[in-house]
Amino acid sequence: GRSDDDDSGDFERGDKVEARYGGKSKWYKGKISMVHSDGTYDVLYEDGDKERKVKKSLIRKLGGDDRKKKSSFGGRSDDDD
């Protein structure tokens, strides 16, 4: 397999990732904003949401950088912030 996508590596601050917000089944794009010593991560989502102490099992690294799609990213429509 390709060495750039093995799941054993840890994420680093600034890594582009997808994470399952609230542990739900849907993946949302964001990036790692902080790495905690207990193996969890803070994620800053593209729609402006933040989530703290996300388990690594709920995060996956985003593949290629597809900026072309960024304009169509609408975030979660069910947001009642």
Provide the residue-wise pLDDT of the chain in tens; the chain has 81 residues: 444 544 457 899 999 999 999 999 999 999 999 999 999 999 999 999 999 999 999 999 987 555 545 444 555 555 555
- pTM equals 0.67
- Across the chain, the runs of DSSP E, i.e. the strands, are 16-20, 27-35, 40-45, 50-55, 59-61
Predicted confidence at residue 64, as pLDDT, reads 59
Looking at residue 17, the DSSP 8-state letter turns out to be E
Predicted confidence at residue 62, as pLDDT, reads 87
Looking at residue 8, the DSSP 8-state letter turns out to be T
